């Protein structure tokens, strides 16, 4: 009888340990975002220190895009609405990969068409073309380059999750059927 009680107590101890321990989310990426300096859609300066200590989602777009940028921007706006509805705080950052054309007022008009709330969404420009290409390549391991003889650019179609320490920890499909619920769960796990 003592052995049965002992086994039950050990079993309950193991079970309670499993119930009380939260499972830690392990992210596949670990890329440090290098510093950047630009201005947002309201012509306010923004750099990496502006986002220090915050969880954020980033993407790369340009307003003259003939293909993927419009759905990506609509999907970012949808993510913003879903985050607000869930009560989850995160910053959204869209880097223009065509800074010569995408001036602040153009970015503001572009995002306004999808109902962007600029209280937590910065669309950034104000740097050199060479900088944004190198920045995307090095910090996000993402392509970014102007197509020869065109006003179009090659760029990533992912949404990137950046933790409070400024590390890219995850990426998600940004054009068709983004995993909104997974993104929200991942953001919550970082807060």
Q: What pLDDT shows up at residue 10?
A: 42
pLDDT in tens, 47-65: 999 999 999 999 999 999 9
CATH of the domain at 95: 3.40.30.10
Q: Is the pLDDT of residue 7 over 70?
A: no
Whether residue 161 is contained in a domain is answered as yes
pLDDT at position 15 is 40
8, part of any domain = no
d(CA 171, CA 159): 6
Q: Which domain holds residue 81?
A: 25-190
What is the β-pairing status of strands 45-47 and 121-124?
unpaired
Query: Tokens representing 167?
Result: 């590390």
More confident residue, 91 or 30: 91
Q: Is the confidence at residue 5, as pLDDT, over 60?
A: no
Task: Give the strands of the sheet with 31-32, arranged side by side.
Answer: 31-32, 167-173, 158-162, 56-61, 91-96, 121-124
Parallel, antiparallel, or unpaired: how do β-strands 158-162 and 167-173 relate?
Answer: antiparallel
């Amino acid at each position: 009888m003592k052995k049965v009680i002992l086994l039950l107590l050990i079993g309950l101890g193991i079970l309670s340990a499993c119930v009380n321990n939260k499972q830690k989310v392990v992210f596949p990426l670990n890329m440090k975002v290098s510093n950047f300096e630009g201005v947002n859609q309201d012509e306010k300066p923004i750099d990496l220190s502006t986002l220090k200590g915050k969880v954020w989602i980033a993407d790369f777009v340009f307003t003259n895009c003939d293909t993927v940028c419009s759905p990506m921007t609509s999907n970012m706006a949808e993510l913003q609405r879903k985050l607000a509805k869930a009560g989850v705080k995160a910053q959204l950052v869209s880097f223009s990969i065509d800074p010569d054309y995408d001036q602040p007022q153009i970015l503001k008009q572009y995002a306004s068409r999808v109902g962007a709330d600029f209280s937590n969404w910065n669309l950034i420009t104000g740097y050199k073309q060479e900088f944004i290409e190198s920045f995307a390549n090095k910090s996000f391991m993402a392509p970014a380059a102007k197509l020869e003889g065109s006003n179009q650019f090659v760029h990533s179609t992912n949404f990137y999750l950046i933790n409070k320490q400024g590390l890219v920890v995850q990426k998600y499909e940004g054009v068709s059927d983004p995993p909104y619920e997974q993104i929200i769960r991942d953001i919550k796990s970082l807060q």
